[in-house]
């Protein structure tokens, strides 16, 4: 393990696949690395021809080695020109996100390991978003937000989305809500970058063509101090989705379809790349839904090639230059899955596992007690527009309590301001009220993960719930014997209207 | 690797007090009984880490305290009774979200997290991992199926297991973030079995794990199983996590704790 010095003496610094990991840890970075870092120039990097002594000339057509998107992002972030799955590399982190559940612990580790007076590596690259346990009287939960506030003040953190007055979120203009949706809305997701967050659904940001993954408190404490993380380059599974998306399907159906196909551990340690004409036709929010649940297949990250949809979304949201990367044509993929989306049907994940897939229509006899629409997965503006679309088409009232939890303050405002297409100027909130839903709640993670006892819409009884969230393991929404059917907003709306798990085609055709 | 040796001394009054009921030595096969030899490092470090050691329900016996540092992890033996679970035990079952307000880096809250370990398991698990009103578990080893620790990135999960007094999980496979968090915190050994053993072990069976041989022995059934080698992660866990390991190996400078 004392190999860090070898990087200095080696003839080619790029050859030090193992050594450079350690070199990054110490201050003795090879000189050329630094030069490359300073100039941030592709040209300089290309001069650093990779060592190819281990390879036969016939195996390498050119200096350039075909790589996947994820591999390219790793290469850029670790200042290498090539790398392969399985390699452990030190990457420079572009954004570290943390929230009220894991932030205090990460801060505790940072202070313990780097000292009480230590400063974070870059106050503009740490994004702190309280979102989990906000509207609760739980004292420890309230204290945890205080810890975030004190730390942000002490460190002069540029992006801290604070909430002080819990009685009315609207008087807290800085407060956003669910971190993964807020990250996108506030322009912190950019193609080609590395985003780490202390939340497993950090992978949502892969929708922007970046590497985004969840880490624990200890890793986050390390990143806070150094801006670096030691990561293994994942091999990529490729999911090619072609065909016209039927108007009764949403991205949630696609990802549930995939997880049902490969299981909750089918992508463990792997990257999941989504592409094809269907993916190209998806909006950013729908792409976020797709990437959001890769962790439910065990995936390390999900990624979608950035395109004009991505660039348009980013307009006005970020002033930072970004560099999109794309998988090479002959890049190596561990395996490729192909879907003809036009033939798919609405699906659900039955209790108690996200891979327990069934067609929604196969579950039509399952009586339900409630419907929950919210979270990073299914609480975005378009998720509620989808809900409203079904209510509008049906023109009747819900038969079970239906809980509406906008992910962020922006989403909440959209519910009260954006006219639903074809509704004669009515907004989502009006349609929800007419359908008999509960009034949209304060934005946040709420009951997606149960939380403190007084959490809005927490499942405190062993009920059956259709939910647009992401997990349905025992106890996820509060009660251990509760049964959660994961579904798209369309299916959730249709189920709310009938009181049974219901295929949305009953109302949309 | 003095830290390794420091964690356990079966003769230590503190460590002994943590063993509630297992007459572990008499159960060990005679050939595997090796008492640690005392030396000054061991004694000195014990005083520092006594509180850490007292949290552990298992007895970990370094086979020889004065081994070369690189082989330290291979000298560790765990012994105790096991708690058996099935596939896809997710982080909500290991530590439900309502307890996530507890901050693991705060010592008193760390202890509390331990008392809630695996409290999210459904009622079909009639034996609880930690008895009501207890802070520690009497099971030092968890036997699991596929994809243990899936779900969220909460570090509270391996922390809760470690804080409860468990020392190792032996599963068919792990979810990535749980595995990584286990290693980076050094809270628990995430060991992998070569075959599915959760169907062949019962809660309460008495086990021995020999890291050097990557072997698990079920004394209750008399069966032996091969484990996958823990590899480079072993020394990191033994040191107490990535920071402790990095300091010990000189990767990052030592720091006088300010607290």
Residue A108 has pLDDT above 90, yes or no: yes
The set of long-range contacts for A7-13, using a CB threshold of 8 Å and a minimum separation of 24, is: A12/A48, A12/A49, A12/A50, A12/A51, A13/A48
Q: From the list A108, A113, A115, which residue is nearest B243 (CB)? A: A113
| pLDDT for residue A91 | 97
CB–CB contact A475 B93 (8 Å): yes
| pLDDT for residue B58 | 58
Domain boundaries, chain A: 1-52, 68-323+333-344, 350-508
CA distance B117 to B213: 29
CB–CB contact A214 B177 (8 Å): yes
CA distance A148 to A171: 19
Q: Does B124 touch chain A (CB under 8 A)?
A: no
Residue B65 has pLDDT above 70, yes or no: no
Report the SS3 class of residue A232. strand
Residue A481 has pLDDT above 80, yes or no: yes
For the stretch B164-220, pLDDT in tens is 999 999 999 999 999 999 999 999 999 999 999 999 999 999 999 999 999 999 999
- Chain A residues in contact with B246 by the CB 8 A cut-off are 25
Q: From the list B97, B146, B241, which residue is nearest A449 (CB)? A: B97
For the stretch A224-252, pLDDT in tens is 999 999 999 999 999 999 999 999 999 99
Radius of gyration, CA atoms only, chain B: 17
| pLDDT for residue A64 | 72
Whole-number average pLDDT of chain A: 90
Per-residue pLDDT averaged across A141-145, rounded?
A: 98
CA distance A60 to B18: 60
Residue B24 has pLDDT above 50, yes or no: no
Instruction: Tell me which of B24 and A438 has the higher pLDDT.
Output: A438
CA distance B12 to B54: 10
Cβ-Cβ contacts under 8 Å for A250 (sequence gap 6 or more): A286, A289, A386, A488, A489, A490
Per-residue pLDDT averaged across B105-122, rounded?
A: 97
CA distance B146 to A355: 14
Strands (E), B18-167: 59-60, 77-84, 141-143
Q: What is the DSSP string of A342-366?
A: GG---EEE-TT-TT-EEEGGGGTT-
CB–CB contact B90 A473 (8 Å): yes
Q: From the list A219, A298, A480, which residue is nearest B184 (CB)? A: A219
CB A436 within 8 A of CB A400: no
CB–CB contact A218 B98 (8 Å): no
Query: Which residue in chain A has the smallest CA separation from B101?
Result: A141
CB–CB contact B241 A108 (8 Å): no
Report CA A62 to chain centroid distance, whole Å: 35
* pTM exceeding the 0.90 threshold for the entire prediction: no
Residue A308 has pLDDT above 80, yes or no: yes
Quote the number of domains for chain B: 1
For residue B158, being part of any structural domain is answered with yes
CA distance B17 to A87: 44
For residue B254, being part of any structural domain is answered with no
Q: Does domain A350-508 have CATH number 3.30.499.10?
A: yes
Q: From the list B98, B150, B173, which residue is nearest A452 (CB)? A: B98
Q: Which domain range does residue B109 map to?
A: 2-248
CATH of domain A68-323+333-344: 3.30.499.10
Shared fold status for A68-323+333-344 and A350-508 = yes
For residue B218, being part of any structural domain is answered with yes
Radius of gyration, CA atoms only, chain A: 23
Residue % of chain B over a pLDDT of 70: 69
| pLDDT for residue B90 | 98
CB A242 within 8 A of CB A340: yes
Query: Which residue in chain A has the smallest CA separation from B181?
Result: A216
Tokens in use for B189? 């050994």
Residue B225 has pLDDT above 50, yes or no: yes
Strand order across the A464-467 sheet: A357-359, A347-349, A483-486, A464-467, A370-374, A402-405
Query: Which residue in chain A has the smallest CA separation from B186?
Result: A218
Grade residue B60 by pLDDT with cuts at 50, 70 and 90. low
ipTM above 0.85, yes or no: yes
CA distance B50 to A97: 35
Q: Does B257 touch chain A (CB under 8 A)?
A: yes
Q: From the list A25, A26, A453, which residue is nearest B98 (CB)? A: A453
Grade residue A18 by pLDDT with cuts at 50, 70 and 90. very low
Least-confidence region, from A168-172, A202-206, B7-11: B7-11
| pLDDT for residue B252 | 84
Residue A368 has pLDDT above 70, yes or no: yes
- Chain A residues in contact with B258 by the CB 8 A cut-off are 111, 115-116
């Amino acid at each position: 393990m004392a190999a860090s010095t070898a990087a200095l003496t080696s003839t080619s610094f790029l050859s030090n696949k193992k050594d450079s990991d350690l070199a990054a840890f110490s201050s003795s970075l090879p000189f050329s690395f630094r030069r490359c870092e300073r100039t941030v120039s592709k040209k300089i990097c290309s001069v650093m021809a990779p060592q190819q002594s281990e390879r036969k000339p016939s195996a390498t057509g050119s200096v350039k080695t075909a790589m996947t998107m994820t591999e390219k992002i790793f290469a850029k972030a670790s200042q290498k020109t090539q790398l392969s799955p399985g390699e452990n590399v030190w990457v420079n982190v572009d954004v570290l996100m943390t929230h009220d559940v894991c932030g205090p612990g990460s801060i505790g580790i940072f202070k313990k390991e780097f000292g009480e007076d230590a400063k974070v590596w870059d106050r503009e690259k740490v994004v702190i978003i309280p979102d989990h346990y906000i509207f609760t009287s739980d004292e420890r939960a309230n204290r945890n937000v205080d810890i975030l506030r004190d730390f942000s003040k002490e460190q002069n953190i540029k992006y801290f989305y604070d909430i002080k007055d819990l009685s009315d979120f609207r008087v807290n203009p800085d407060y956003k809500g669910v971190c993964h949706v807020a990250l996108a809305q506030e322009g912190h997701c950019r193609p080609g970058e590395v985003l780490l967050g202390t939340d497993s659904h950090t992978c949502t940001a892969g929708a922007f063509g970046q590497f985004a993954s969840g880490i624990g408190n200890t890793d986050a404490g390390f990143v806070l101090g150094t801006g670096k993380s030691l990561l293994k380059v994942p091999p990529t599974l490729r999911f090619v989705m072609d065909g016209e998306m039927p108007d009764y399907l949403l991205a949630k159906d696609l990802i549930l379809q995939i997880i049902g196909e490969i299981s909750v551990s089918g992508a463990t340690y792997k990257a999941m790349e989504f592409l094809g004409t269907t993916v190209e036709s998806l909006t950013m929010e729908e792409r976020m839904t797709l990437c959001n649940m890769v962790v439910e297949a065990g995936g390390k990250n999900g990624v979608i090639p950035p395109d004009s949809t991505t660039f348009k979304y980013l307009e006005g949201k970020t002033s930072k230059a970004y560099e999109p990367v794309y998988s090479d044509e002959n890049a190596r993929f561990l395996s490729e899955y192909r879907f003809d989306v036009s033939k798919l049907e609405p699906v659900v994940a039955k209790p108690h596992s996200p891979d327990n897939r069934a067609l929604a229509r196969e579950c039509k006899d399952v009586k339900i007690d409630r419907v929950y629409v919210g979270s990073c997965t299914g609480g975005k503006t378009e998720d509620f527009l989808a809900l409203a679309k079904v209510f509008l088409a049906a023109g009747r009232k819900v038969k079970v309590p239906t809980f509406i939890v906008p992910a962020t303050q922006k989403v909440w405002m959209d519910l009260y301001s954006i006219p639903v297409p074809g509704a004669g100027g009515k907004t989502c909130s009006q349609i929800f009220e007419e359908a008999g839903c509960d009034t949209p709640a304060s934005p946040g993670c709420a009951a997606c993960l149960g939380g403190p006892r007084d959490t809005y819409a927490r499942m405190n009884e062993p009920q059956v719930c259709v939910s647009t969230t992401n997990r349905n393991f025992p106890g996820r929404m509060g009660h251990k014997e509760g049964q959660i059917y994961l579904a798209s907003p369309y299916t959730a709306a249709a189920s709310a209207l009938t009181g049974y798990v219901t295929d949305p085609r009953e109302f949309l055709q | 690797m003095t830290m390794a040796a420091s964690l356990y001394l079966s003769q230590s009054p503190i460590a002994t007090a943590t063993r509630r009921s297992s007459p572990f030595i008499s159960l060990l096969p005679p050939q595997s009984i090796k008492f640690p030899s005392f030396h000054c490092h061991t004694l000195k470090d014990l005083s520092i880490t006594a509180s850490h050691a007292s949290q552990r329900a298992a007895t970990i016996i370094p086979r020889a305290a004065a081994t070369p540092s690189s082989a330290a992890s291979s000298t560790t033996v765990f012994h105790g009774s096991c708690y058996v679970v099935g596939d896809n035990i997710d982080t909500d079952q290991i530590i439900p979200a309502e307890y996530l307000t507890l901050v693991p880096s705060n010592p008193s809250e760390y202890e509390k997290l331990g008392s809630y370990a695996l409290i999210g398991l459904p009622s079909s698990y009639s034996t609880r991992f930690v008895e009501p009103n207890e802070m520690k578990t009497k099971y030092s080893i968890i036997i699991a199926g596929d994809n243990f620790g899936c779900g969220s990135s909460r570090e509270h999960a391996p922390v809760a297991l470690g804080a409860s007094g468990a020392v190792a999980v032996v599963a068919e496979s792990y979810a990535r973030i749980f595995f990584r968090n286990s290693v980076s915190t050094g809270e628990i050994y995430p060991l992998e079995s070569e075959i599915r053993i959760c169907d062949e072990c019962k809660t309460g069976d008495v086990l021995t794990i020999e890291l050097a041989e990557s072997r698990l022995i079920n004394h209750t059934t008399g069966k032996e199983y091969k484990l996958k080698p823990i590899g480079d992660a072993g020394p990191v866990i033994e040191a107490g996590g990535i920071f402790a390991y990095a300091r010990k190996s000189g990767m990052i400078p030592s720091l006088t704790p300010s607290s």
